[in-house]
Amino acid sequence: MFGVLLAKTLKNYVCVSIRKGGDIVVRVAINPDTIERKPGSAPDVRGKGCCGTGDLEILICSDAGLEWTIPLIL
C-alpha cells in the first residue's frame, strides 16, 4: 500500500488506502447487508482479518465508483 488515511471521531468509520496502481481501497464501517453492493467492487470483509476499519471494502478505480462511494461515507 502506498498510503493510508484514517478519519476518526469517537469511532473509526472509514479507512482509505491508495494502491501503487492508483486504485483506491475504502473500508467503511457499514453492515454490508444494509446496502445494494456493486458485484466485484464491494466485497464483505467481515471475519476476514483485514487491516483497517469496517466490514465493507470498496475498490474505486473510476469516477463512477467514486460517485457511488461518497454517499456511503458522508
Domain-wise residue ranges, the chain: 3-73
Q: Which residue has the higher pLDDT, 2 or 68?
A: 68
Burial label for 32, CB within 10 Å (0-12, 13-18, 19+), is: middle
What local confidence, expressed as pLDDT, does residue 17 receive?
84
Question: How many whole angstroms separate alpha carbon 46 and alpha carbon 44?
Answer: 6
Percentage above 70 pLDDT, the chain: 74
In this structure, what is the dihedral angle of CA atoms 40, 33, 48, 25, given to the nearest 10 degrees?
Answer: 50
pLDDT in tens, 15-47: 888 888 888 888 888 888 888 876 766 777 777
What local confidence, expressed as pLDDT, does residue 1 receive?
46
Alpha helices in 1-74, H assignment, sequence order = 63-73
Report the DSSP pairing between strands 56-60 and 24-28: antiparallel
Q: Which residue has the cell 494502491?
A: 19
